[in-house]
Amino acid sequence: MNSQDFIKMEDEYGAHNYHPLDVVIKEANGVWVTDVDGKKYLDCLAAYSAVNQGHCHPKILEVFIEQAHKVTLTSRAFRNDQLPLLYKKLHDMTGYDMFLPMNSGAEAVETAIKLCRRWAYDVKKLPENKAEIIVADGNFHGRTTTIVGMSDDPDSYKGFGPYVEWAFPMHKFGDLEDLKSKITPNTAGILVEPIQGEGGVVVPPDGYLKGIADICKERNILFLCDEIQAGLGRSGKLFAHYYENVRPDIVIIGKALSGGFLPVSGVLADKEIMLTIKPGEHGSTFGGSPLAAAVALKALEVIEEENLVQRSFDLGAYFVEKLRTIKSPHIKQIRGKGLWIGFVLDQKARPYVLKLQEEGLLCKDTHETIIRFAPPLIITKEQIDWAVERIEKVVHEFDK
């Protein structure tokens, strides 16, 4: 079967909830993927930052296979010998007291919402069922009905209501004065992405996260930071909030936590918040499984051992510098942190993305006019140079 055969089958029998590029990937290794027709591509999306460590990382793969031969799932009705090791590793890496494991990023966001609300009722003593969590415009936190109800993107929320809109007041991302105007006596938390990924790698003004942290401390509000895409090295720091030297009350992680081998996510917090949820009040059949824990532990070790956070910082700066040498009247802005770059155009980005695919480079358009470049953090300068040559070629084709 060739690519067109697979595409036809997928369109016939699969839900149309995505609009993917017509490339059918069969194999992947490091920064490269290969389609069913044998064409090789440089992956500049990294599965939305889930494969920061590179595709099929050999050390993570070895642990995955080894653990799969022992036990993959016991459910949380029993203990296992891998989860405590992951708990301890995350504590040592981040300084937070505790970790609550889940699977998808959206599940972790839902968990953070539940934690914030429980803390608000048990500790802050808000009236039952009145807790509000302030969010930002342009946000993307997932696809559940609760989460799309706090989005301002019609593609996310339209046709899936009703929503509890008052529970998630929205402020302008990056605007502290607007944020303050949304605070009420029932405000329990403020939930933001330190950098908005789906929004097009939007970096807030300096001082924004520090301002949120200060507001939360002054007014007894929890600061919830969604680091699902930004975290674990993508932004050039272990977490993007490190750029402003703040410590959110709740940090949400996922994506690269498993190196792309299976869904692993969760929430970091200290005991006074985490222990407000009691046994039986929240959980997951697969969250915290021995397979998930073993893989996540090794994925974290790889980030440390291969110095991927510093690589992201250094190579991200190099990538941006190279991109800024490209001159075109259609380039409006090149922005980002680490190996997470928003390439902003003054016209539709999808045609550029399709041309880049022809050149052997895979990336993703978002919000009509923005291309995101986010390769695995193991990429080299030589591979970045290879990518920039092709990006420049495609950009100039649209200048004609």
Catalytically annotated residues: 140, 226, 255
Rounded to whole angstroms, the Cα distance separating 118 from 270 reads 14
The helix/strand/coil state of 143 is coil
Rounded to whole angstroms, the Cα distance separating 351 from 341 reads 18
Rounded to whole angstroms, the Cα distance separating 135 from 167 reads 10
What are the strands, taking DSSP E only, across the chain? 25-29, 32-35, 40-43, 98-102, 132-136, 170-171, 187-192, 222-226, 250-253, 265-269, 331-336, 341-345, 361-362, 364-366, 370-373
- Would you list the DSSP string of 64-96? HHHHHTT-S---TTS--SSHHHHHHHHHHHH--
Task: Identify whether the C-beta of residue 275 lies closer than 8 Å to the C-beta of residue 345.
Answer: no
Q: How many CB atoms lie within 10 A of CB 360?
A: 14
DSSP code of residue 331? E
Residue type, position 336, single letter: G
Rounded to whole angstroms, the Cα distance separating 320 from 336 reads 8
* Residue 329: burial class (beta carbons within 10 Å; 0-12, 13-18, 19+): exposed
